[in-house]
Amino acid sequence: MFLYNSKTRKIEEFKPLNGKTVKMYVCGITPYDTTHLGHAFTYVFYDTLKRFLEFKGYKVIYTQNVTDIDDDILRKAKETGKNWKELGEFWTNRFLEDMKALNVLPPTHFVKATNSIPTMIKIIEELIEKRIAYEKEDNIYFSINKFPYYGTLSKLTYKQMLLIAQERGGNPNDPLKKDPLDFLLWQGSDPSKSKRKGSDPQTPTWKGPLGISGKPGWHIECSAMICDYLGNQIDIHGGGRDLIFPHHESEIAQSESYASKTPFVKYWTHTSMLIYEGEKMAKSLGNLVMVKDLLKKYSANAIRYVLLSHHYRKPWEFQEDEITSAEEIVNKITEILKTQHETQEIDKTTFDEFVFYMENDLDTEEAMELIKRLTEKILNTKDKKLVSTLYKITSILGFDFKS
């Protein structure tokens, strides 16, 4: 099996660190709003990757997180007058409902960032002791100059990193930083110390590293959860492509500096952007297609069909007529599996072709084309072996045609 590694920018043979066990971590949602199709594209892909790895005989330990403490949640809670915790619970439950509807299996560990705060504190204190992190006015920063490999994942220039950090909440203009690209590990919350952003008495706080009251930075959360649930080294780390910098870049820096284990992640995988109305689908732009709304009009199988019809690394633009066409194919498959008898045997040539596509960087795009051809062939031939093959392939891909 071969997977594209975002760090080397090459398709590499997949060889887990520990024989037949695969440790996989995927960055989850920040629950302050509803689940859109861009989210579904990412989590349906990783669900399919897990299913295929299990078909290949691997034991997959899959951890997915919920960033349940974040500036966006706190801002939304303030806007709506809701408690930040209740807000997070509400949207997390909505997300889980949508994923269940799309037949996405629950990960092995579905974890909240706030449950790993003790580990965050432990990592930060170790980094301070190693003089890789420093404290300034109750803020604690990671010093990127102490990690010479910073930038090897994203391959951005220093200038490019500054621009993207500014766009994604990194605040390079923070006067407390030694280097504009240094990132927050812990944000102090004492309003009397300074007028910095986030010093708000309404903000939830924890007693943190060096006894400083405050809340964790974004990047340290994932490092701590990986450490807690998977250990210091993992096979696959996933998420949307927009997380490569600064989030995943910073994760590498702090995790490898803390545990002295290299590589922290063997295979970095990233899903591409979903475009809608000419722009990236994003909460900030408001150009969202909600999973909940689509489920009112179309079957879960049709939505999953559309998502898997696109290769996870290729950007694509959502058009509603695509889902209408998918529904027609899905209806044909449903009818076939409902009315035609299966046999114990499968058509080996067709199934081997499916496996070939999937082993080649999980090429679901080609796999779905194969399903389309196979469906038409069955309608013409009524071949029982092909019916069994269709059922086996769609089951591995996470479709539910039986219930």
Mean pLDDT for back-to-back runs of 10 residues, the chain (403 residues): 98 96 96 89 98 98 95 88 91 95 97 97 98 97 97 97 90 95 92 48 85 95 98 97 96 96 95 88 78 95 98 95 97 93 89 98 98 97 94 97 81
Q: 5-44 burial, b if ≥16 CB within 10 A, otherwise e?
A: bbbeeeeeebebeeeeebbbbbbbbbbbbbbbbbbbbbbb
Which of the following CATH numbers is that of domain 318-396: 3.40.50.1820, 3.40.720.10, 3.40.50.10680, 1.20.120.640? Answer: 1.20.120.640
pTM, 2 dp = 0.94
Q: How far from the centroid of its chain's Cα atoms is residue 385's Cα?
A: 37
Burial 99-121 (b: 16+ CB within 10 A, else e): bebbbbeebbebbbbbebbebbb
Give the list of residues 6+ apart from residue 162 with CB closer than 8 angstroms, or none: 172, 180, 181
Measured CA to CA in angstroms, residue 111 lies from 46, 222, 348 at distances of 16, 10, 40
The CATH number of the structural domain formed by 2-274 is 3.40.50.620
**DSSP, res 113:** G
pLDDT tens-digit series, residues 209-222: 999 999 999 999 99
> How is the chain split into domains, by residue range?
2-274, 318-396
Distance of alpha carbon 312 from its chain centroid, rounded? 12
pLDDT of residue 194: 45
Identify the pLDDT of residue 238. Answer: 98
**Cα 91 from Cα 159, distance rounded (Å):** 36
For residue 56, CA distances in Å to 60, 169, 396 come to 11, 40, 10
